Amino acid sequence: MIRICFVCQGNICRSTMAEYVFKDLVRKEGLEKDFLIESRGVIADVGSDIHPGTKSMLDKHNIPYSKHIATQLEKNDYEKYDYFIGMDNYNVISMKKLFGTDKKVYKLLDFTKKSKEIDDPWYTHNFNVTYEEIDRGCKALFNFVKNNK
């Protein structure tokens, strides 16, 4: 089983979008039993649901999602997952500091030909760009993990 945790700041926008986009890719390939896919925040908006802008993008692209409760990343999560996928440099630095290592820690767009940070739509209000980047990153990550099982 491949265990992936998507990580952003508050676990209500980018990481949840990536979680459900990736779950949809896995579902369409019929590989649900081969993956555990979840999300966390480095400074989670604990207890909050998915941001309405994220829900809107998922709805627009016919990607199913369920009730979500924002959860903060904890040190003991390190043993639960094979990959921790951050959205920006702050997320990656926070995970390295929390875990004391950079093993298992990546930035989502590192798996694409154009590595960059995914801006937080909480501040940019541009959920369309966020979705496009997350979709591209999730497809590249999915191909990477399928080819490196």
pLDDT tops 90 at residue 114: no
pLDDT digits (tens, 9 = 90+) for 121-146: 999 999 999 999 999 999 999 999 98
- Kindly list the catalytic residues: 8, 14, 120
What amino acid occupies position 1? M
Domain total of the chain: 1
pLDDT tops 90 at residue 119: yes
Q: How many CB atoms lie within 10 A of CB 127?
A: 23
Reported as a pLDDT band with limits 50, 70 and 90, residue 96 is very high
What CATH number has the domain bearing residue 67? Answer: 3.40.50.2300
pLDDT tops 90 at residue 149: no
pLDDT tops 90 at residue 147: no
Task: Write out the residue range of the structural domain in which residue 92 sits.
Answer: 2-147
pLDDT digits (tens, 9 = 90+) for 25-56: 999 999 999 999 999 999 977 788 999 999 99
Helix intervals (H) in the chain: 14-28, 52-60, 89-99, 121-124, 127-147
